[in-house]
Homo-oligomer: A and B are copies of this chain.
């Protein structure tokens, strides 16, 4: 049988990676990375506003050609590979990263008239300039359209589409007026590959729409004109120029146009999978399925789960988003996350200890020698707020229990434990509302490199921590989506589930809960929840702090007895 390959293209925050994958077994036969040349590490900044983060759409277009041709060249160099055997392309990107485009589907920033205006560029996911707009959207929805907030956990984020578009309308009305429409990066790249020349041609994906743009079939698509008019009549007018429907990944976003087929050296007309977010296709690449939670552990954490959409699933309070058809077709996609995980450890090592990667290794090694409860420390993992389950970006960190002998490694471990407790709170919340979690698969640099971290997670969450086989799960997930979109007849696959079975894998290494450690962590987790609920403002929280401090000490004494 003839070989069949798909290409997954993963647009990250600083670079874009293309990966050529064998559809038969998921073998990664070639890859290439292109670093965005504009700004600081690919990000356009404003020295006057630390909340601003934009990207140059020209980098996306150049990166598309350079990464794909590079990956194809690498595949050809590595062995018997023929680009004519590529049967499809998939794309995942950061998000919400909306781009204002003109009537020809061209980003305004590519027009010399707008090039120097930061508002005309892509509004990167971590741009927080629309914080006031986000708060106003939440307040307006609470009063007039609470149904919009239920599936997103109750709070609209400054990182999401309408906050950014509205902020643009206020801060750069000329850019807003010049934009025919706004397109998420996840929808824009497939549109480029398909050669679309009008925003109306773009096939919008349900992931960006449902998770970031308040889209739902339940209320007829995007938020009602009346609602948007309450924010600004011009937003209501823009709604006409956005889209009526968004689609799961069970249909293509388009077919590769002749121009780009030529540029890339690929067969024209091959299908382009529906664009999605990096975390979602990352979950697909890691093997997400009903009962399997995928944790993408990096600077922050994204937790993805799916529930077959024939089951009715309730809104889960505090969970960022539950969207019918997102992540994988045929499921409700459920997205949760922690605002800072690796970032908290990086804060401790970089900012406080003035260390580097070597210090992470050293502190991890030392932390491995500290047993659960032995340091007497307990922390809250809120240095960057709490995304799930409290949905409060303003919360801050807390460290409790330090003495004159507390070491940096003990604090390091306490911070790891705090993030593990935060992770457990998410798992428990999901279960409480009927999302089954029977298996946990982790991916990301920390999962691959930090054994102490992973063992703490296994002990705290009480599940084996499995590790995804690929180090590039988002690109692999995009390639899987492309294989499904191409279909079995072309050498791809009939379903996502079938494609995952063939193309995704787990590492042999896994971390299993140790019963004694888990028992101590069960006690510490109960204390964490006391702090969590009281400082997090959970109604009815028990505020028994004095005894908490003492119980923590008693625990420490018990756990260190005879171990000094």
- Give the distance to chain B from A398, nearest Cβ to Cβ, in Å: 5
- Give the distance to chain B from A483, nearest Cβ to Cβ, in Å: 39
Any B CB within 8 A of the CB of A395: yes
Any B CB within 8 A of the CB of A553: yes
Question: Judging by beta carbons under 8 Å apart, are A396 and B376 in contact?
Answer: yes
Any B CB within 8 A of the CB of A411: yes
Residues of B within 8 A of A344 (CB): 404
- Give the distance to chain B from A525, nearest Cβ to Cβ, in Å: 19
Any B CB within 8 A of the CB of A407: yes
Q: Determine which of B346, B354, B402, B546 lies in contact with A399 in the assembled complex, contact meaning CB atoms within 8 Å.
A: B402
Question: Judging by beta carbons under 8 Å apart, are B351 and A354 in contact?
Answer: no
Give the bracket for the number of chain A residues in contact with chain B. Answer: 35 or more
Residues of B within 8 A of A219 (CB): none
CA distance A400 to B376 in the complex (A): 16
Residues of B within 8 A of A395 (CB): 549
Any B CB within 8 A of the CB of A408: yes
Question: Judging by beta carbons under 8 Å apart, are A401 and B396 in contact?
Answer: yes
Find the B residue at minimum CB distance from A553. B394
Question: Judging by beta carbons under 8 Å apart, are A404 and B545 in contact?
Answer: no
Question: Judging by beta carbons under 8 Å apart, are B546 and A534 in contact?
Answer: yes
Question: Judging by beta carbons under 8 Å apart, are A383 and B396 in contact?
Answer: no
Q: Determine which of B352, B411, B543, B553 lies in contact with A396 in the assembled complex, contact meaning CB atoms within 8 Å.
A: B553
Residues of B within 8 A of A383 (CB): 402-404, 406
Any B CB within 8 A of the CB of A509: no
Task: Scan A511-544; emit 1 where CB is below 8 A from any B CB, else 0.
Answer: 0000000000000000000000011110001010
Residues of B within 8 A of A541 (CB): 546
Question: Judging by beta carbons under 8 Å apart, are B352 and A411 in contact?
Answer: yes
Question: Judging by beta carbons under 8 Å apart, are A353 and B353 in contact?
Answer: yes
Known: A353-B353, A353-B354, A399-B399. A404 touches B340 (CB 8 A): yes
Find the B residue at minimum CB distance from A355. B354
Any B CB within 8 A of the CB of A397: yes
A-B CB contact pairs (8 Å), 21 listed: A340-B404, A346-B404, A347-B406, A351-B408, A352-B352, A352-B406, A354-B408, A383-B403, A384-B403, A384-B404, A394-B550, A394-B553, A396-B400, A396-B401, A396-B549, A396-B553, A397-B402, A397-B403, A534-B543, A537-B546, A541-B546
Known A-B contacts: A383-B403, A396-B552, A541-B546. Give 5 more (CB < 8 A). Answer: A340-B404, A347-B405, A351-B404, A384-B403, A543-B545
Q: Which residues of A contact B (CB under 8 A)?
A: 340, 343-344, 346-347, 351-354, 376, 383-384, 394-408, 411, 534-537, 541, 543, 545-547, 549-550, 552-553
Closest 8 CB pairs of A and B: A537-B546, A543-B543, A397-B402, A399-B399, A396-B401, A534-B545, A347-B404, A383-B404
